[in-house]
A and B are shown apart, each in its own frame.
Chain A
Amino acid sequence: ETGVTQTPRHLVMGMTNKKSLKCEQHLGHNAMYWYKQSAKKPLELMFVYSLEERVENNSVPSRFSPECPNSSHLFLHLHTLQPEDSALYLCASSQGRDYEQYFGPGTRLTVT
C-alpha cells in the first residue's frame, strides 16, 4: 500500500449503530486529519493529530470520537449518528504544519 488508505470505502449505518472508520498513512508523516465533505460545501476540518496528540477539535459533536494510536493510524469512531452526518469523510496526512496534505480516497457514509 502507498499513500493514504481508508477503509471501508462505503458504509451504511443506522442511527443506533456504532462503527469505525480507519485511516492509514504510509508516507512517514507526523500529522493526520479528518475532514467532512458535503455536497456544495467547503471541506470541513474535524480533527487534527500531531505526533499522536490532538491539536485541533473543530467543534465536532461528541458522536464523533477520534483515536490516534500511533503516527500511522487514525480512527474515527461513530455512534448514534444523524442523517445529516451522511457525507464523504476524508483522511489526510502531512509532514508537520504548513506542508501540503495528502488525502485518502474517503469513506462514503450514509446514515439511515
Chain B
Amino acid sequence: AQTVTQSQPEMSVQEAETVTLSCTYDTSESDYYLFWYKQPPSRQMILVIRQEAYKQQNATENRFSVNFQKAAKSFSLKISDSQLGDAAMYFCAITRVGSNYKLTFGKGTLLTVNP
C-alpha cells in the first residue's frame, strides 16, 4: 500500500515571495509517478506538475518546481513569485507504474496568498 503525508494543513505566503509545500510518501515500489494538484476555491482540480521516479532531474513548470529526494521519499513543491491566483488547496499524489489506475492522495495543504 502507498501513503502520502502532507504535514502542513495550512500555509501562507506574501505575494511575490516563495513558498515550499512539503510532501512525504511511503511506497515499496521502485517505479512510480508523483504529482502535485491544485484545487482553487472554484473546486476544479488542476494538475500542477508531474515527476517520474526514475528521473533524477527535478521537474519544473514555470514558477512551480519540485525538490524530489527519492531516498528520503520526499517530494516538495516550490512556488516562486507567488500570485494571488495561487491561493488554493494543494494535493500531493502518487501512483505506481502499472497501478491499475490507483492514485493515492494526501490530505492537502491550504495555501493563502496575502497581498
Residues of A bordering B, CB below 8 Å: 31, 33, 40-43, 45, 48, 50, 55-56, 88, 90, 92, 94, 97-98, 100-106
Are the C-beta atoms of B101 and A33 separated by less than 8 Å? yes
Chain A residues near B30 (CB-CB < 8 A): none
**With contact pairs A42-B105, A42-B107 given, residues A103 and B100 touching in the complex (Cβ less than 8 Å):** no
Residues of B bordering A, CB below 8 Å: 4, 33, 35, 37, 42-47, 50, 91, 95, 97-108
Are the C-beta atoms of B4 and A102 separated by less than 8 Å? no
Q: 18 A-B contacts, Cβ less than 8 Å apart?
A: A40-B107, A42-B4, A42-B108, A43-B105, A45-B103, A48-B102, A55-B101, A56-B101, A88-B43, A90-B45, A97-B99, A98-B99, A100-B50, A101-B103, A103-B45, A104-B44, A105-B44, A106-B43
Chain A residues near B97 (CB-CB < 8 A): 98
Are the C-beta atoms of A98 and B102 separated by less than 8 Å? no
Chain B residues near A55 (CB-CB < 8 A): 100-101
